[in-house]
Amino acid sequence: SMIDDGFEHDHTIAVVDFMCEESSRFGAATLGSKAMRGKLTLNDLHRLVDTQGITLYDVLKGRNLNPDAIESMAYKRPVKAFIEIHIEQGKVLEHEQKQIGIVSGIAGPERFYLTIRGNADHSGATPMNLRHDALCGASKIILGIEEIAAMQEEPPVVGTVGIVEVTPGAMNVIPGVVKLGVDIRSISEVARNSVVTLIKEFIDVTAEKRGLSYTIEPVAQDHPVVMNPAMIREIEEAVKSVGVDYMTMPSGAGHDAMHWADDVPTGMIFIPCREGISHNPAEFADMDDIVTGAKILDTVLRKLSLESTKLN
């Protein structure tokens, strides 16, 4: 619409589509924006592997890219503002019947793999008192993570075990090794760190009590970020000019905006998604909500692209 009505702007407007925003393949999210901001290291490229054991380094090489130069790839040009539009990935807007969410901050996840080792003995020949069942220990730990995270109410922390891999995975063999994928996140880094400490202590005690050993392999540790107050105001003014119901809210999901917020005035617009479903073929956003979000983005971009608009 800016082209159609001949809108003249003073600042370049760049549209960026980041790769690997989701963490489904390598366990770490927002890889494209990390790379653009110079936050992805050569070590990361070798460290991050998919379920087939293929490293991110190999994947980039296979696409005729130059992963060895990753640390010199940061975007160097000055940026006046960064704004992102996204579905909420939750049910809050839908429940509150608001068409727009203005994001106040983004929770930062800490993720690690926990491998618990016991003895893969025969299920029939090993009495209950002589077992070192890695899965029973893992089950205790999974429920412990839920309980410890739930105890931290203000500011809230959420804890999830989304991966459970059991070896050898036979009905007549006591599970000898279990690998868990653990995700702990919060808007507050202090609250998150305290929960992670409690969880690691709980893992240690549980393993010792059951005669199990374990290793912890860090995957990611992203800082929670706060959106820029001036950007929040600009989005709020745009929403009011369009005339829709809105609310200010934190984002529990991570986004590319996290990696700009430290150095660049950053804001985020949420639109509702049906039943909060995302990362799934059933993900759905209503066209009216998409259009409303686009109108607000357009309004904000027009204002920010003028030299006269100062963010302070």
Summarised one tens digit per residue, pLDDT across range 200-214 is: 999 999 999 999 999
pLDDT of residue 52: 94
Q: What is the mean pLDDT of residues 137-166?
A: 97
Locus of tokens 């929040």 = 232
Q: Where are the beta strands (DSSP E) in 121-193?
A: 157-167, 177-186
Is residue 168 reached through a cis peptide bond, with omega within 30 degrees of 0 on the bond before it? yes
List, for residues 101-131, the tens digit of each pLDDT value.
999 999 988 999 999 999 999 999 999 999 9
Number of other CB atoms surrounding residue 106 within 10 Å? 27
Query: Over 90: is that where the pLDDT of 296 sits?
Result: yes
Q: What is the mean pLDDT of residues 38-65?
A: 94
pLDDT of residue 226: 92
List, for residues 168-188, the tens digit of each pLDDT value.
999 999 999 999 999 999 999
pLDDT of residue 261: 94
- Cα–Cα separations (whole angstroms), residue 177 to 189, 215, 248: 31, 11, 44
Helices (H), 243-305: 287-304
Among candidates 204, 202, 213, 208, which has minimal Cα distance to 118? 213
CB 141 within 8 A of CB 148: no
